[in-house]
Structure 1
């Protein structure tokens, strides 16, 4: 997935710092979006996935206007549990972030019923 850093994606806008560069929370959300997209084709109707564990190293700054390519590669599956290696790179190949996201497949209705 490719994202373009906008003003609303910056650390200053999200309150995770004061600089006009890509905020770590936004980068994390983009990594989660990539894992959702990677897992979506394998989900049966009425099923979704929820994030349960995240580890992310944000290693380089991305200014407003930068394009960030985020990938999610499956590394482990055990029943409903799916683990992905995630990374973000600028279009010139510069590494922005690496990490791991774990998601668990759940029945949507049963999951939401437990909240009530």
Structure 2
């Protein structure tokens, strides 16, 4: 399967508010009441995944296969965070993104993310087979 609809330069943005639920202390990734690195990386992945979803054939989805990011600045509760994902390479079923996150003042994180297109049903069956 070729991802012919997905082109270099495709972008997507998503946002969320920093709340008590996505702070480092609540998520267990630290002990400060600031935006958690796992929350930032999740928002980056969401931006990438949502960019691809409408362009995939019926029955297909993408899964994250790598994420390499730096979380460069803290963000307190009450601020909004925006994550952006841009396609920089398409190789067969693998799509590579640059990802960046911003709060209202500055860039707070950046890096790369790779996703791989899979048949939803086949992938789910493979995961479920581990239960046996």
In the superposition, the TM-score normalised over structure 2's length comes to 0.85
| Secondary structure of 1:17's aligned partner | coil
Q: Find the aligned partners of 1:76 and 1:43 in 2 and give their Cα distance.
A: 16
Match of 2:108 among 81, 96, 111: 96
Deviation at 1:45, TM superposition (A): 1.1
- Ranges of 4+ aligned residues in structure 1 off by more than 6 Å: none
Q: Specify which of 6, 18, 25 is matched with residue 38 of structure 2.
A: 25
In structure 1, what is the Cα distance between the partners aligned to 2:91 and 2:66?
Answer: 15
Shift in Å, 1:91:
2.6
| Cα root mean square deviation, aligned | 0.8
Matched position secondary structure for 2:75? coil
1:107 aligns with 2:119: yes
Q: Which has the larger radius of gyration?
A: 2
Show structure 1 runs of 5+ residues with no match.
Answer: none
Give the superposition deviation at 1:70.
0.6
In the alignment, the residues of structure 1 paired with residue 107 and residue 71 of structure 2 have an alpha-carbon distance, to the nearest angstrom, of 9
User: Partner of 2:101: helix, strand, or coil?
Assistant: strand
The size of the alignment, in residue pairs, is 115
Task: State the Cα distance separating 1:101 from its structure 2 match.
Answer: 0.6
